[in-house]
Amino acid sequence: MGAAERIISTQGSPQTRDDGVPHPADAVEVVVADPTEAGAANGATAVENGKGPRRIGVLLVVAVLAFLVDLGSKLLVVARLENHAAIKVVGDVVTFQVIRNSGAAFGMGQALTVVFTMIASAVIVVIWRIARRLYSLPWAIALGLLLGGALGNLTDRLFRAPGVFRGHVVDFISVQHFAVFNLADSAIVCGGILVVLLSFRGSNPDGTVHQQAEKTAK
């Protein structure tokens, strides 16, 4: 009998009729499910099997916000800053100037535009596959930043000149002695750093940690 069940019976010994047969009304067992205990048992099972609620919604919200902020910033700087003198933000250390980048993040690999477009597409597919078993909030934020950044730069690859899959990414944040980049690059870097930290701590996207996963496997 399960832990979420109770037995209610009549007190005393069963009475017999004149023919020696116990009277059915005098000895009755009723099995009643306790809703409180049943709910607790179901909740425990859900926590074990699902590690809490899935975090796909958090991933999508973070990704959409990162994408929209990146897209809005690019539209603004192209309309206001392209073909104009650089704007000093922090002296000569940080300036805003529009540069069309055919390479990867921070201007690397400018001869491999199509290759980087395919890589960005593959990253988006991988993130979406991981999202199906995503129960960790920090992982949802990290993957959301990666997804939003990848979508931001992929949008440039697909819709900006000189053509589909060969479009140049708009970069505009210039740091002295470093590189020119955009907010999508920043989201990708922040998401990547968070993924490394989570992996270093033993955290998995499904909400478990490496030690727990090893014990479960054994």
Point out the residues that are catalytic.
171, 185
CA quadruple 64, 67, 73, 76: dihedral sign: negative
Rounded CA separation 102/90 (Å): 27
- CA–CA dist 68, 183 (Å, integer): 10
Q: How far is CA 131 from CA 25, 154, 166, in A?
A: 57, 20, 29
Burial class (CB in 10 A: 0-12, 13-18, 19+), 205: buried
Cα separation, 149 vs 160, whole angstroms: 16
